[in-house]
Amino acid sequence: MLHMILAILMLPNGYRPFRHIILTQNLNMKPAPFLTLAGLAILLLFGACSKDKQPSDPLAGNPTRDMLNNAVRETDLGMRVAIDRYLDATGIIGRELYRFSPNQQSYTTELLGSGNLTLNANSFYFKEPWNARYEVVKKAVQIVNGAARSTQITDAELRGFTGYAKTIIAYQLLMNLSMTYTNGIYINLGSNNPASGPVVLYPAALDSIARFLNEAKAALPGSAMPPLTIGFTDFTDAAGFLKFNRALAARVALYRQRWAESLTALNESFFDLNGSIAKGPQMAFYTSGDNVKNPCFIPQNQTSDVRVTHPSMASNITAGDDRIQKSSLRTAVVSQDGLNSNRDVWVFATEAAKIPIINNEELTLIYAEAKLQLNQLPDGIVAINRIRTVHNLSPYAGAITQAALVNELLHQRRYSLYGLGHRWIDMRRYDKLASLPTDRPGDDVWDKFPLP
């Protein structure tokens, strides 16, 4: 541990904010360079391994505004940690992509159910994103509790910190629940370790996540928000962040099959049937110096350590669909463990490419699904056609039945949300996992990860 501490303290001046986080809690609010993901991981490890040198809750007591704002920055950065692991794991099981790596055979063995192999809750592909999400939850709980104790912030600021933190708690728990599904998750928010205590099973966990979002909704109106990063542009004030909160609520209501509730949440979100489909909060990344770079970026046409498209993505897409650009043709086929692909995943084309948290394209598809499930088929078709036409396709001309339109909806979600971890969840929601392709005899399509 000592060599890690020395390495941190010897960082050059460009890393002064990182040094300052280690050495003191009282940060000012001047813009600071962003931490690297590796640096943030070391910071989290430092906190976990040095209980004898610092309190388990750095916001214990009467935290200042700057301490709380710094915790918000750490929380925002923490959401980016292991996001590539999450998208790889969900994308591989959902048969959106392959990950060929000479150092990690689990991508093409365990995640695809090769032979007699099964998923391992202690493997990097699950444990890293799982732990990272709970680290963020832990920090967000500390923000809620610290803001409630603080006498150095206004009531409006208290509501801003609370609304922010409870929204993020819900978002992070939903990601972990999406991985473990009916195995449930832990929601021990009264403990220093949220990933402990009794297991909360899927329906009750979704109920709790919805409740956290609603509690945040109640706190946000008229609040004073803490400073947020550039990825939240247009959503940094209370009114904007509330729209983000309601967008997440619409997604959760969809998973709960509460179609009318989903539409209500959409009406309170930034959903705009005729607006830009790209609008929405994002995880932001940067390429200057050693700042946080998008960990999902891999250059085109590498011969090893690649993220490539599942062949069915190109073979099943409708001719003329411009979303084929999310999968670029390689100069040569790449193979591993009997699997082949001639296309690179090209969703994130630079190291600075942002990762959507939720955007108007997804909200349009949520609107379409809720309308179809309520048997309001004409409204659902209007939304589907909005997605089709924006991607260079003619309006829907298939059967006007609920079943046919739901299949069309799932097809549009497949390509609009490609590479963002939705395909596996969607096929599971509709009990269609058996229709996902298995590429080798004996491969399996898993429905959930084991609970640690």
**DSSP, residue by residue, 337-395:** TTEEEEEEE-SS-STT--EESS-HHHHHHHHHHHHHHTT-HHHHHHHHHHHHHHTT-PP
229 residue type, one letter: T
3-state secondary structure of 236: coil
**CA–CA distance, 341 with 298 (Å, rounded to integer):** 15
Lowest mean pLDDT among 56-60, 138-142, 270-274, 332-336: 56-60
pLDDT of 234: 93
Q: Where are the beta strands (DSSP E) in 24-156?
A: 97-100
Give the tokens for residue 224.
């004073």
pLDDT of 44: 45
For residue 185, the cross-strand partners are 200
pLDDT of 56: 82
Domain range summary for the chain, segments of one domain joined by +: 306-345
**CA–CA distance, 440 with 302 (Å, rounded to integer):** 24
Given pLDDT bands bounded at 50, 70 and 90, which one contains residue 368?
very high
Is the distance from CB of 445 to CB of 92 less than 8 angstroms? no
More confident call, 430 vs 19: 430
Q: Which whole number is the average pLDDT over 215-230?
A: 96
Say yes or no to pLDDT of 221 above 60.
Answer: yes
Say yes or no to pLDDT of 340 above 50.
Answer: yes
b (16+ CB within 10 A) / e for 48-64: eeeeeeeeeebbeeebb
Q: What percent of the chain has pLDDT over 90?
A: 85
3-state secondary structure of 298: coil
Is the distance from CB of 230 to CB of 191 less than 8 angstroms? no
b (16+ CB within 10 A) / e for 380-398: bbbbbbbbbeebebeebee
pLDDT digits (tens, 9 = 90+) for 4-59: 433 333 333 333 333 233 222 332 233 333 344 444 444 444 344 433 344 589 99
pLDDT of 39: 47
> What is the rounded radius of gyration, in angstroms, for the C-alpha atoms of the chain?
22
Give the tokens for residue 50.
């040095």
Lowest mean pLDDT among 21-30, 201-210, 352-361: 21-30
pLDDT of 289: 61
b (16+ CB within 10 A) / e for 139-157: bbbbbbbbbeebeebeeeb
Given pLDDT bands bounded at 50, 70 and 90, which one contains residue 290?
low
Give the tokens for residue 392.
């260079």
**CA–CA distance, 289 with 287 (Å, rounded to integer):** 6
The torsion angles phi and psi of 380, rounded to 5 degrees, stand at -65, -40
**CA–CA distance, 106 with 110 (Å, rounded to integer):** 5
The torsion angles phi and psi of 372, rounded to 5 degrees, stand at -65, -45
Say yes or no to pLDDT of 153 above 60.
Answer: yes
pLDDT of 292: 83
pLDDT of 18: 33
**CA–CA distance, 195 with 452 (Å, rounded to integer):** 9
